[in-house]
Amino acid sequence: MPPTLELPFIAAGVLVVLTLGYLLYGTFIARQYRLDDSRTTPAVLKNDGEDFIPTRPFYLLGQHFSAIAAAGPIAGPIFACMAFGWGPCLLWIVLGVILIGAVHDFSALIASVRHGAHSIAEIARETLGRRAWLALVCFIWLALLYVITAFTQITSSTFVGKAEELEGLSTTFNKGGAVAAASTLYLVLALLMGIVQRFLKPPMWLSTLIFVPATLGCIWLGTRIDDALVFGPKFWYAAILIYCLVASMLPMWLLQQPRGYLGGFVLYFAIAVGVMGVLFGGFEIRQPAWAVDADKLNPLAFLSPPAAPGEQAWPITNMLVPFLFVTIACGACSGFHGLICGGTTSKQIAKESHCKSIGFGAMLLEGFVAVIALATIMIVTPEQSRGAPPARIYGDGLALFLTRFLGPEAFLFCATFGAMAFSTFVFDTLDISTRLGRYLLQELFAAPGRIAGFLGAAATAGVPLLMLLFADPNAYRAFWTLFGTSNQLLAALTLLSITLWLKRSGRRYWYTLAPTVFVGSITVWALVIQCFMGARDVAAGAWRTGAGNLNATIPNGAVALALLGLAAVFVVEAVRAVRRAPA
């Protein structure tokens, strides 16, 4: 087979499998929950115009998809391809997203809708008791801190770029500055749309016709003012997290809903560009399908001694098991999605039948986003991709896809679009994570009110800011590993809660129990390894890296230990709940 046909056949095959997964397995799972549109959903019952708002499926799908499809399905597959080759990555993405990820999202969404749009933590309190609820709330909050930390550091990398002479163009272009400007204009545009929708109430088709092209106009304008917002990474850490703090306190109608709607179109455009580039761009696969040797298959490879204090003789993230699974993270399965389902999306479901397309369908769409991200690294050589940040690889890949059809004269727009698509994926997740952290802390301390909410949001955004200011600028790989691990262990705990709910309801539950066992085992193993690595660096006195920054392995190890302890408490309470239940 000619090399130029390999990538199109792979992508087409993935599309067919995902479509069949939705039609067959998705329908099977939906039947298990007996969706019934005669039930009144919490959005309809509590419609308050603030948090509970019945929303049309297409509008809600865009908002939900843009909230869940963050850096995970992009950076994860790129990181994993560098370590293991594209073959294992593709296999896990396709199988994981259908059998585990989509089942998790759909189950979390319908469980929340059936429990008054409560979070998974509240459902755990009803099912397992207060101690399990307390452990899960603390676990979720720690996991959210790593979502925010990892995503902020990776996003800031798209805003920082050297001004470089472009081949064939007599101009100096700062891509990072252009992306920063375009992203800022995009957020202002979303605010404007929220105000227009709230007070002028135009038909949605008219708002779409005006604001979606205006979003593309923001990208074009960003290329014209690429030197207006040129700052270093620490500035962007602070700016992004201050934005998260402010955005998490705003009403959903003002920013989150319109930004999610517009962001959904940007993501749809990015997917369309990816599909066109993969199927018709004529690109060759230049990465190895299998880059795994005996060391990467050795389950005890992490025990090899470090070459020097603070260094590792061999990166633990090169272990196929368990780090393939936790590195790809949201591209196959994400516990964070359960927080979105129970935190915001369930409050906007107008009918139960909408849960299948929004829960199961959006996750399959995210799986294909992961495949497109994988394609952006598959078309470059290992030498070209070595050491490059995933945001740059993805953005440049989309730019190559788009330039192939628009021509080289459109390169500035294409380059900015590719990088902004990445930051658009992430923005929604960052401020939603901060909002969810605020909800959790207010719930934990029983402190309603705006002041308590502000303090909760400040704590949720402030801890990541401190970590980023003192950590190495290249620590995102270490932060990513713990983020992916905690994220997928959260998915296992969510599925465990749903399994117990199904068992108590007298329904079949094997389709949630099997993923619980698999994902739980993988993630516990990954946390144990990270605990060991942190303890080893503490014993060696390697608190700082060679550049004098905080060694991220040590706080990662401490947080990994805390997550293991909280997960153990939750599982123990689950076992007790099963024993207490009548036979």
Of how many residues is the chain composed?
583
What pLDDT was estimated at residue 82? 93
Chain center to CA of 151: 8
Is the per-residue pLDDT at 411 higher than 80?
A: no
> Average of pLDDT values for 118-126?
86
What pLDDT was estimated at residue 138? 93
How far apart CA 25 and CA 360 sit, in angstroms, is 10
Is the per-residue pLDDT at 165 higher than 70?
A: no
pLDDT bracket for residue 166 (50, 70, 90) = very low
> Residue 577, Cβ neighbours under 10 Å: how many?
18
Q: Which residues contact 490 (CB under 8 A, 6 or more apart)?
A: 139, 140, 143, 335, 336, 338, 339
Chain center to CA of 548: 30
What pLDDT was estimated at residue 304? 73
Tell me which residue of 257, 286, 278, 305 sits closest to 368, measured CA to CA: 278
Tell me which residue of 133, 94, 35 sits closest to 357, measured CA to CA: 35
> Average of pLDDT values for 56-62?
85
Which amino acid, one-letter code, is at 493? L
Tell me which residue of 5, 18, 77, 577 sits closest to 278, measured CA to CA: 5
pLDDT bracket for residue 308 (50, 70, 90) = low
What pLDDT was estimated at residue 558? 95
How far apart CA 444 and CA 448 sit, in angstroms, is 10
Q: Which of 48-62, 228-242, 396-410, 514-528 has the highest mean pLDDT?
A: 514-528
> Average of pLDDT values for 130-151?
91
Tell me which residue of 17, 13, 8 sits closest to 102, measured CA to CA: 17
What pLDDT was estimated at residue 170? 47
What pLDDT was estimated at residue 63? 77
pLDDT bracket for residue 33 (50, 70, 90) = very high
Task: Please give the share of the chain, as a percent, with pLDDT higher than 90.
Answer: 53
Is residue 138 helix, strand or coil? helix
Q: Which of 9-13, 265-269, 430-434, 472-476 has the highest mean pLDDT?
A: 9-13
Whole-number Cα distances in Å, 307 to 143, 311, 526: 31, 6, 22
Regarding pTM above 0.85, the answer is: yes
Q: Which residues contact 462 (CB under 8 A, 6 or more apart)?
A: 241
> Average of pLDDT values for 130-154?
91
- Looking up tokens 């050589």 gives 381
> Average of pLDDT values for 328-353?
91
pLDDT tens digits, residue range 173-207?
Answer: 788 888 889 889 999 999 999 999 999 999 988 99
How far apart CA 1 and CA 8 sit, in angstroms, is 12
Is the per-residue pLDDT at 24 higher than 50?
A: yes
- Tokens at residue 222, please? 């960003």
What pLDDT was estimated at residue 531? 95
Is residue 541 helix, strand or coil? coil
pLDDT bracket for residue 28 (50, 70, 90) = very high
Domains of the chain from N-terminus onward: 3-469+477-580 (1.20.1740.10)
Task: Please give the share of the chain, as a percent, with pLDDT higher than 70.
Answer: 95
437-459 burial by CB neighbour count: b if 16+ within 10 A, else e? bbbbbbbeeeeeeeeebebbbbb
> Residue 238, Cβ neighbours under 10 Å: how many?
17
pLDDT bracket for residue 2 (50, 70, 90) = very low
Please measure the distance between the N-terminal and C-terminal CA atoms of the chain and give it in whole angstroms: 59
pLDDT bracket for residue 253 (50, 70, 90) = confident
pLDDT tens digits, residue range 461-470?
Answer: 999 999 999 8
pLDDT tens digits, residue range 568-581?
Answer: 999 999 989 888 76
Mean pLDDT, the chain, whole residue set: 88
pLDDT bracket for residue 439 (50, 70, 90) = confident
How far apart CA 436 and CA 126 sit, in angstroms, is 20
What pLDDT was estimated at residue 162? 56
